[in-house]
A = this chain, B = another copy of it.
Amino acid sequence: MLTPHLDDISMECESCPIRHRAVCARCEPNELERLEEIKYYRSFEAGQTVAWTGDRLEFVASVVTGVAALTQTLEDGRTQMVGLLLPSDFMGRPGREVVRYDVTAVTDVVMCCFRRRPFEDMIARTPHIAQRLLEMTLDELDAAREWMLLLGRKTAREKIASLLAIVARRDAAVQLATTGGRMEFDLPLTREAMADYLGLTLETVSRQISALKRDGVIELASKRHITVPDFERLLEETGDDTDGGILA
């Protein structure tokens, strides 16, 4: 278990790794003090369920470390991942008690939980928290819509390339500038989780990864460790309109 454990996480907001990007990003010291009173940390092991659809949940939370997934299921068991929660992402909806998606830990996860009621009160009294939450929600909505385009219109190969590009972008952003397009990263997802995210079967995921490897778009040191020799080349494989859109 190499992921940070509860003991390794600072209990102080001031030194929190997601301090500047989470819902509390614009809080003043005195507001942080109030948050400290209603917050507590919880950790979940990879694979563990955080909440089931239909559950009453007495907290909302920020992801501190690790990756969690939101998943929906059809009657006969077909499942679709509808969101990935990365560090600093927010889970739960103020004003709604009941969870609408299954939430599961993809890797080991540490969450900073706020008791629901006090947090809702705090939002009502602290407008800039609501504004920050609005910003984050609008970003999530943009991401969800990008994902709709992927699910509705992209080929299996384009889907894989898009996922790799997204993971690469966020977790190796620094490398890009320094190494002239070469990037390296670990996939936090199993083939099955990738399939659930991309609306494919795990066999198709595996085949397309092999194909991208065969075509030199990526290299595989191990099954989960990926090297992208030329990021531009990867982007071409995503099918995206590269000039029309704006880079986040």
B148 and A74 form a contact (CB under 8 A):
no
**Among residues 219 to 240 in chain A, which have CB atoms less than 8 Å away from a CB atom of chain B?**
239-240
Tell me the count of chain A residues lying within 8 A, CB to CB, of chain B: 50
- Residues in B whose Cβ lies below 8 Å from that of A123: 131
Indicate how many identical chains form the complex: 2
Cα–Cα distance between A149 and B151 once the two chains are bound (Å): 9
Chain B hits for A130, CB < 8 A = 127, 130-131, 134
Q: A73 interface residue, CB < 8 Å from B?
A: yes
- The verdict on A100 contacting B144 (CB below 8 Å), with A78-B153, A134-B133, A152-B199 known, is no
Interface string of A46-63 (1 = CB under 8 A from B): 000000011000000000
Q: Given that A100-B142, A144-B144, A144-B145 are known contacts, is A153 also in contact with B82, CB under 8 Å in the complex?
A: no
**Do B244 and A53 touch (CB < 8 A)?**
yes
Is A73 a contact of B199 with CB atoms below 8 Å? no
A28 at the interface (CB under 8 A from B): no
Which residues of A46-102 have CB atoms within 8 Å of chain B's CB atoms? 53-54, 70, 72-76, 78-80, 82-83, 93, 95, 98, 100-101
Tell me how far the C-beta of A130 lies from the nearest C-beta in chain B, rounded to whole angstroms: 6
Residue pair A75, B242 in contact (C-beta under 8 Å): yes
Do the beta carbons of A70 and B145 come within 8 Å of each other? yes
Among candidates B76, B135, B152, residue contacting A239 with C-beta atoms closer than 8 Å: B76
16 contacts across the A-B interface (CB closer than 8 A): A54-B244, A72-B145, A74-B149, A74-B153, A74-B240, A75-B239, A75-B240, A75-B242, A76-B239, A93-B138, A95-B135, A100-B245, A124-B131, A127-B130, A137-B138, A152-B198
